[in-house]
């Protein structure tokens, strides 16, 4: 299995480290031709306007759209924005996922926070880094890190909600083989989201 990490801007290196740890050889993607050999692609966090602009300059927008119609893509934070249909502003978007996002929804002052999420879908995978104790929940809460994160305001069409904050706000969604998370699983030791994505790649 070959998984690419879009390496135009943002924290692509952190995703590559986790992929390696769970036994997948990551490919840093900067050119359209590199998509051809891949089974799936991760679009990292960073700055969605910059990622979009560079994708445009590198002739990647249409190839990425084509890739996403057939193969799995996971966008984290800025990557989730880039996957969306609507971010309320003029900026290059792939428009692959039927979600509407609000950028920097948690404001600039309190730009970062961490919280535990209940993610029922993660019951399908285990965290390789964590040795389960007897009597422990089989699907423990997922500790999520939010950095100038977007909210997923609307999940429409074939897209479905995967996780919400306690106040009901949506922070993860899935549409078939497409996955969007507002937060940064590449910054934690819990690799369940990466494993969950591999399942989508193989589905």
* Residue 21: both structure tokens together: 């740890």
Please report whether residue 15 would count as binding ligand GLN according to CB under 6 A: no
Q: Report d(CA 99, CA 1) in Å as an integer.
A: 28
Q: Nearer Cβ to ligand GLN, position 39 or 47?
A: 47
Distance of CA 53 to the CA centre of its chain: 19
Taking CB under 6 A as the criterion, the residue among 26, 46, 63, 75 binding ligand GLN is 46
Judged by CB under 6 A, the chain residues 138 through 167 that form the site for ligand GLN are 147-148, 150
Using CB under 6 A, pick the residue from 47, 85, 100, 154 that binds ligand GLN: 47
Contact 46, 85 (CB under 8 A): no
Query: What are the distances in angstroms from CA 10 to CA 7, 43, 77, 102?
Result: 7, 9, 10, 19
Angle, CA 188 vertex, CA 183 and CA 191 arms, to 5°: 95
Distant-in-sequence, close-in-space partners of 20: CB < 8 Å, separation ≥ 6? 26
CB of residue 51 vs ligand GLN: minimum separation in angstroms? 8
- Cβ distance to ligand GLN smaller for residue 113 or 130: 113
Number of residues that bind ligand GLN (CB under 6 A): 12
Query: Three-state DSSP class for 140?
Result: coil
Kindly tell me which of 92 and 140 has the beta carbon lying closer to ligand GLN: 92
Kindly tell me which of 9 and 127 has the beta carbon lying closer to ligand GLN: 9
Binding segment toward ligand GLN, per CB under 6 A, in 24-32, 45-53, 128-136, 185-193: 45-53
Q: Which of 78, 117, 119, 152 binds ligand GLN (CB under 6 A)?
A: 78
- Closest listed residue to residue 67, CA positions, set 99, 37, 22: 37
CA torsion angle 31 37 42 44 (round to 10): -20
Residues forming the active site: 77, 184, 186
Q: Where are the alpha helices (DSSP H) in 76-133?
A: 78-83
| Near ligand GLN in 102-141, by CB under 6 A | 103-104
Residues in touch with ligand GLN (CB under 6 A): 45-48, 77-78, 81, 103-104, 147-148, 150
């Amino acid at each position: 299995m070959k998984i690419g990490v879009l390496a135009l801007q943002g924290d692509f290196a952190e995703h590559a480290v986790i992929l390696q740890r769970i036994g997948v050889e990551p490919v840093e993607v900067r050119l359209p031709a590199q998509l051809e050999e891949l089974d799936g692609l991760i679009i990292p966090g960073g700055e969605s306007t910059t990622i979009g602009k560079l994708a445009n300059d590198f002739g990647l927008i249409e190839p990425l759209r084509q890739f996403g119609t057939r193969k799995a893509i996971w966008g984290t934070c800025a990557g989730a924005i880039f996957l969306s249909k609507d971010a309320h502003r003029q900026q290059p978007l792939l428009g692959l996922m039927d979600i509407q996002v609000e950028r920097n929804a948690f404001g600039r002052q309190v730009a970062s926070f961490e919280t535990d999420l209940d993610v029922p879908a993660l019951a399908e995978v285990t965290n390789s880094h964590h040795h389960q104790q007897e009597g422990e929940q089989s699907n423990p809460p997922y500790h999520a890190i939010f950095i100038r994160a977007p909210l997923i305001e609307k999940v429409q069409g074939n897209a479905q909600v995967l996780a919400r904050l306690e106040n009901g706000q949506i922070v993860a969604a899935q549409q078939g083989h497409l996955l969007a998370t507002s937060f940064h699983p590449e910054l934690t030791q819990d690799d369940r989201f990466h494993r969950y994505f591999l399942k989508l790649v193989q589905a």
